[in-house]
A and B are shown apart, each in its own frame.
Chain A
Amino acid sequence: MDPALTSALIELLLIVIIGIFAGIIGSLVGLGGGVVLTPLLTLFLKVPIAYATGASLISTIATSSGSASAYIKDKITNVRIGMGLEIATTLGAIIGSLIASYIYSHSLFYIIYISFGIILISSIPSTLSRGRYELPLPKRPDKTTKIFRLNGKYFDPVLRQEVQYWGIRWWLAEIIMFFAGIISGLLGIGSGALKVLAMDWGMNLPMRVSTTTSNFMIGVTAATGSSIYWYLGYIQPFLAAGTAIGVLIGAFIGTKILIKITNRTIRWIFSSIIIFLGIEMIIKGIVAIGILLPLFYEYLIPSIITAIFIIGVYIRVRIKNET
């Protein structure tokens, strides 16, 4: 075989495999594929950060649209609430991607790396609390509940009952969604964790409604950002093609495994991968500022912190089980 062809094929395989891995982790911990994809591409394949975020936005659209179709059929997604909040996320995504374009044109890459790391690590608490599908304590409907018709109902397969719910504080959710949009445009991710926070904590919606509606919204937010990324040249067709295929395969495998995995410890393991990637990104950001670290420390520091995290969690789980 032609050596140029072989090297391109290996390149493609690596991209697809990283995509599959990101898709599996993403769907298992309930984050979009992009959050894991970008660190893997930049850290292990040395892909330029702008191309990595561009590819990540594209795969985010693919996974969101792919799984949203299933959730709409189940009638858990609240299309009204989703559409209403997209005003804020699309506006935020426009501003976020413009900030990204400023950052890239001024070579301030460390801002992207460091904020990416912080977003990864701060997504851990919401990742760990996922799977708790208790219903929120009902709060009194407010004015926005009536004006924007934020009520709905769905059949909960776990609780085996029809759940009636209503959302409150529409304005608060819009504010949080605006920031979710900025993060999405800035880092090329779906920022699902923030979206869920806006609906779950902000609007007091049931977790199931929040997660499926968030997933439904992510595609539109990502499409807004990706059109600006497209114009700015952050989308590298070969890379985006490989990651889109990989992440979709990974997300599909992930949802198949998810049905079987109920064990919490597996979620801890994946969370520690995310912590590791988060610290790696922050260190990469520090190196990008110009502070040189010996290569040795670049992997040692994240490994130590991740190990502490795993041990800490293990001890906590043990204590909980004994009492």
Chain B
Amino acid sequence: MRHKIDMELIIGQTLRFGVIISILLIVVGVVILFIQGQSNGISLDKLSMINSTVNSSSINVNQMLLNFSFNGLNFIILGLLTLIATPIARIILGIASFAMEKDKLYVIITVIVLFNLIFSIFILPAIIHI
């Protein structure tokens, strides 16, 4: 039982800190963006336009993470990615928590949920691409 209580606390804290970190990254990104007046060679008014063409499909995330530069947009993207990653971290911790309780059925169930998530993040884009 002791394990279970610890895990619930860890899951709760992961969610909380995930949100705090991502919002901090986003705020820092917005501030840098306004100080520099542009980001990654794109002007601020082009970025901030309501029907801006700068969106998640025009940004190469891998490249951005590999050579991370001190740009507002990079911080915002990193913050948004952290936010999306938070629930995924929760699922992985959930699997660990059920495994500790030796609850086989729920380990399997949670692995299926994780698979659905991984499928939508990595496999599906590749399929749509073809």
Contact = CB atoms under 8 A, between A and B. Distances in A.
A226 interface: yes
Nearest to B18: A65
Given A8-B45, A61-B84, 7 more contacts: A12-B30, A54-B56, A73-B9, A222-B87, A235-B80, A238-B33, A248-B23
Nearest to A235: B56
B8 A72 contact: yes
Given A45-B50, A72-B12, A231 B128 contact: yes
Interface residues of B, number: 63
Contact of B106 (A5, A83, A234): A83
A90 interface: yes
B51 A48 contact: yes
Contacts of A147: 105
25 contacts: A7-B48, A12-B48, A45-B50, A48-B51, A51-B51, A61-B86, A62-B83, A69-B13, A73-B8, A83-B106, A149-B105, A219-B87, A220-B113, A220-B117, A223-B84, A228-B120, A231-B57, A231-B124, A233-B56, A234-B55, A235-B80, A237-B76, A238-B33, A245-B23, A245-B26
Interface of A: 2, 4-5, 7-9, 11-12, 45-48, 51, 54, 58, 61-62, 64-66, 68-70, 72-73, 75, 79-80, 83-84, 86-87, 90-91, 93-94, 97, 101, 147-149, 219-220, 222-242, 244-245, 248
A51 to B, nearest CB: 7
B108 to A, nearest CB: 10
Contacts of B33: 238
Interface of B: 8-9, 11-13, 15-16, 18-19, 22-23, 26-27, 29-30, 33-34, 37, 43-45, 47-52, 54-59, 73, 76-77, 79-80, 83-88, 90-91, 94, 97-98, 105-106, 109-110, 112-113, 116-117, 119-121, 124-125, 128
Given A79-B94, A245-B27, A232 B57 contact: yes
B26 A224 contact: no
A64 B84 CA distance: 11
Nearest to A82: B94
Contacts of B12: 68-70, 72-73
A94 B50 contact: no
* Top 3 A-B residue pairs of the complex, sorted by shortest distance between their CB atoms: A233-B57, A90-B116, A235-B56
A309 to B, nearest CB: 31
Contacts of A66: 15-16, 19
Contact of A68 (B15, B37, B128): B15
Given A61-B87, A65-B86, A227-B121, A237 B106 contact: no
B23 A83 contact: no
Contacts of B55: 51, 54, 233-237
Contacts of A5: 34, 37, 44
A237 B125 contact: no
B48 A230 contact: no
Contacts of B112: 87
A83 B109 CA distance: 7
A12 B49 CA distance: 10
Contact of A237 (B59, B86, B121): B59
B83 A58 contact: yes
B116 A87 contact: yes
A162 to B, nearest CB: 17
